[in-house]
């Protein structure tokens, strides 16, 4: 029974901070530059979460394949290819660098 109360408390702690801004700030009009800034936050947060893992993906002593793979993925994303191709290209770049140059 204690587990049930714990899960309920965790649900409230998670739900309340997400619900309060929607309820309290629904009639607030933000300037256009703030709205534009808010649209970029998910991309920045995703990059901050992914980038450290990319650099550590090939081991602490071999960072060059990770940098090449990341560069390949950035290049493919820049030319707006499919997400699967971006991921596969990044993996392929790191693999080729790892197999042939290290």
- Tens-binned pLDDT, residue by residue, of the chain (102 aa): 789 999 999 999 999 999 998 898 888 888 999 989 999 999 899 889 988 888 888 777 778 888 899 999 999 999 999 999 999 999 999 999 888 876
* Residue 75: both structure tokens together: 């290049």
Q: Give residue 57's pLDDT.
A: 81
Look at residue 62 and tell me if it is in a domain: yes
Parent domain of 78: 31-101
Is 78 part of any domain? yes
Q: Is 1 strand, coil or helix?
A: coil
- 58: in domain: yes
Residue 102: the pLDDT is 67
According to the 3-state scheme, what is the secondary structure of 47-98? HHHHHHHHHCCCCCCCCHHHHHHHHHHHHHHHCCCCHHHHHHHHHHHHHHHH
pTM: 0.60
- Write down the pLDDT at residue 15: 94
pLDDT of residue 92: 94
Residue 6 resides in a domain: no
- State how many domains the chain has: 1
Q: Report the greatest alpha carbon distance in the chain.
A: 59
């Amino acid at each position: 029974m204690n587990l049930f109360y714990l899960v309920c408390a965790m649900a409230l702690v998670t739900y309340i901070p997400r619900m309060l801004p929607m309820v309290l700030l629904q009639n607030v009009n933000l300037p256009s530059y703030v709205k534009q800034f808010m649209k970029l936050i998910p991309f920045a947060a995703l990059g901050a979460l992914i980038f450290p893992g990319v650099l550590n993906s090939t081991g602490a002593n071999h960072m060059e394949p990770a940098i090449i793979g990341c560069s390949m993925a950035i290049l493919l994303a820049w030319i707006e290819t499919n997400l699967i191709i971006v991921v596969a290209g990044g993996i392929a770049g790191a693999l080729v660098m790892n197999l042939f140059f290290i």
